Structure 1
Amino acid sequence: MLQVSVVVPCFNETEVIDAFHASLITALEPTGQTFEICYVDDGSRDRTRWQLRELTRSDPRVRYTSFSRNFGKEAAMLAGLRMSRGQAVVLMDADLQHPPELVPRMLELHRHGYDQVVAQRDRTGEGVLRTALSRIYYRLVRRCMDVEVVDGAGDFRLLSRHAVDSVLSLPESNRFSKGIFSWIGFDTAGFTYRNVRRAAGHSKWGGRNLLNYGIDGLLSFNSRPLRLAIHTGLWLFLSALAYALWIITNVALNGVDAPGYTSLMTGIVGLSGIQLATLGIIGEYVGRIYHETKHRPHYVVRETDASPGPLPSGGPSASSVGQARSES
């Protein structure tokens, strides 16, 4: 029986994938457990797919799936979980920011009966602004979401087969894995490790991607933004009622007083902004409903280790890479 599966989503990781693979093998072999490594190429535009094919040919413990285009990390993790066959499944990134030498520690905690083992990074080396914004976001998430999401607890974790089957049983298209991992529950252990910089390349998580991911997290596991819109509307109604009563009282006591133009314009602009924000929140939920009703697959597979597509035996040349880009 296969004991351990390691799921590794990849996107344009050609500079680091070989070093990561060697480091992971070095960490796993001394454990004495049977294992497989499931790579998922999320539509990379560099040589990542070719390198994964070569790793599969040279090591029977390696399997891979390559998407037809970039579908996002959530889809890549889902594909990797579907590929996995081990009794324990480790999710980790290929950029070496998730240190492979921590995997044996996760396996040891799993042997003590934990269904989830979470490696939580600290904030060492991050900028002051990004650290502050992250802490504010997680405080907001903890107040708004119906599940517990811990600051620093990302995708680097171990799941038991029971936990993996529970994750795969959830059919939604709009997936927020941090929330899903918390929602399924089970006995969970965790430890903190020192934040590590990327070994090579650059991060795919820019400010815009992080903002969109944060919005997904806030909307995926609760309807409280809609409740907040209701509360805001009621508060504005009561405020307007109180202001109207004050105007009536002032007119009765002091006569007619012409309202100020500045106050009027400020009120119009403020209320318009609140209305647009509320419509945006409603639109986000409606859009998610629309996306779910289409029942599209989470991803499209270009090739797998069982059915590799055509590539030159010496690796992709510049022209073939350009052709692959145009086809995707």
Structure 2
Amino acid sequence: MKLSLLITFFNEEKILTRTHIEMSKQLDSMLGKELSDYELLYIDDGSSDATLKLIEGIATENSKVRYISLSRNFGREGGILAGFKYATGDAVMVMDGDLQHPPSLIPKFVAAYKEGYDIVSGQRDRTGESKLSSLFAKLFYDVSNHSMDVKLTDGKSELRLLSRRAVETFIALPEYNRFNKGLYEWIGFKEKVIKYKNQVRVAGKSKFGFKKSFNYAIQGIVSFNDKPLRVCVQFGLVSLSIALLYLLVEFIRYFTNPGHTVSGYFTTIAAVILFGGIQLISIGILGEYIGKIYYEVKRRPHFIVGETNIEQAKKDRVG
């Protein structure tokens, strides 16, 4: 089999050369045994440092390196989609460029593919993570699995291997707002999960901080279900019921207890806070969905190719 190893880079000049050496060494050791051929497909996601120059230098020395530099930063989802579109292997394996996905796992993933699995997924433990990060991750998976149309597994990372038919199916999904973890689960196919120990980044800084992680989580939840919209309706019905019940109670007390008076200030403030809060939450949820629709109807490309050594990508430019 021929394996395409897909790696996206964004400002990773400090680790890129080491990543290339480690990946090449592992893949070269598999030639003639597990692999008949391989390609290293590097995606530069609009880096502002020397990442692209390093990739170009590596590509001139190693004929197995193919690269695509996007015109700007389109995000990991766009970079992976670009790689899938131009990968030529029988299977495509996605790995991070910071060596947090150990190259030693490649033979295990290839072996699982040869067993007949269309998707092989890596599941890491939480070793080395802060308690706060682990808590937020657990909260996200709990919320998503109670609301989304697909089931996500805690610890499953972007470390994946997809067969050719799984790749083609993934590419055929047209949506602009892409949440890869959900899409991998949605397309189905026979899957095997390989667990591994979490690795600490050896150089550089993570480009996926709390803010990006939070936005990514919101995108995932909104992209794969409409339950938040139903929750808005449920909140409205509950609020209406409470309001009607309150009016009924006060109406009864007015006739049964003539001396009873209602504090208008307290009632007004309580009603404003309750209904105002519900309305703002509902408007926010509606806004999220309308925003997704706004981007979908534009039908803009998922990525734009700036520079590449792949002839077909030079012709296409957009995807």
| TM-score computed with the length of structure 2 as normaliser | 0.93
Letter in 2 for 1:219: V
Report the Cα offset of residue 191 of structure 1.
1.7
Q: 2:266 maps to which residue?
A: 262
What's the secondary structure of 1:92's corresponding residue?
strand
2:9 paired residue number = 10
Alignment partner of 1:171 out of 153, 165, 174:
174
> What letter corresponds to residue 216 of structure 2 in structure 1?
Y
**Alpha-carbon distance in structure 2 between the residues aligned to 1:81 and 1:213:** 21
Shift of 1:213: 0.4
| Structure 1 residues 13-36: Cα deviation after superposition (integer angstroms, max 9, x where no partner) | 000011111111121122221100
1:191 aligns with 2:194: yes
Counterpart of 1:204 in structure 2 is: 207
State the shift of 1:260 in Å: 5.0
Paired AA for residue 58 in structure 1: E
Residue 272 (str. 1) matches residue 276 (str. 2): yes
1:79-228 equivalent positions in 2, closer than 5 A: 79-228=82-231
Note the 1:276-315 alignment, pairs <5 A.
276-306=280-310
- Deviation, structure 1 residue 264: 2.6
d(CA) in 1 for partners of 2:108, 2:29: 12
Structure 1 residue 259, shift from structure 2 partner: 2.2
- Aligned position for 1:71: 74
Distance 1:101 1:267 in 2: 61
Kindly provide the CA deviation profile for residues 52-97 of structure 1, in whole angstroms up to 9, marking residues without a partner as x.
1111111111000001111111100100111111011100110011
Residue 255 (structure 2) pairs with residue 252 (structure 1): yes
Matching residue of 1:325:
none
Deviation at 1:284, TM superposition (A): 1.2
Q: Quote how far apart the aligned CAs of 1:277 are.
A: 1.1
> How many angstroms apart in 2 are the aligned matches of 1:261 and 1:137?
39
SS at match of 2:96: coil
Structure 2: any 5+ residue segments left out of the alignment? 312-319
- Any idea what the Cα deviations from partners look like across 1:170-202, whole Å, max 9, x if unmatched? 011010000000000000001211111111000
Instruction: Tell me, in whole angstroms, the C-alpha distance in 1 between the residues paired with 2:158 and 2:95.
Output: 6
How far did 1:252 drift?
1.3
Q: Report the secondary structure of 1:181's partner residue.
A: helix
Aligned equivalents of 2:102, 2:202: Cα separation in 1 = 11
Letter in 2 for 1:43: G
Pairwise CA RMSD of aligned residues?
A: 1.2
Q: Provide the secondary structure at the position in 2 that maps to 1:40.
A: strand
The CA distance in 1 between the partners of 2:227 and 2:167, in whole Å, is: 28
The CA distance in 1 between the partners of 2:223 and 2:146, in whole Å, is 14
How far apart, CA to CA, are the structure 2 residues paired with 1:10 and 1:116? 23
Equivalent-residue separation in structure 2 for 1:56 and 1:249 (angstroms): 82
Counterparts in 2 of 1:229-240, with a 5 A limit? 229-240=232-243
- Partner Cα distance (2:77, 2:310) in 1: 23
Deviations 1:228-282 (A, max 9, x none): 1111111111111111111111111112412252343133123212101111111
Aligned residues: 306
Structure 1 counterpart SS, 2:159: strand
Give the TM-score normalised by the residue count of structure 1. 0.91
Stretch of structure 1 that moved more, 8-17 or 253-262: 253-262
- Distance change in 2, residues 1:263/1:134 (3 Å): farther
- The residue number in structure 2 matching 1:24 is 23
Give the ranges of 4+ consecutive aligned residues of structure 1 lying more than 3 Å apart after TM superposition.
none
Distance 2:86 2:263 in 1: 68
Letter in 1 for 2:287: G
Instruction: Sort the Cα spacing of 1:117 and 1:306 in 2 relative to 1 into closer, same or farther, 3 A.
Output: closer
Q: Partners of 1:215 and 1:156 in 2: how far apart?
A: 21
AA aligned to 2:54 is Q
Structure 1: segments with no counterpart, 5+ residues: 308-328
Letter in 2 for 1:21: H
**3-state DSSP of counterpart to 1:203:** coil
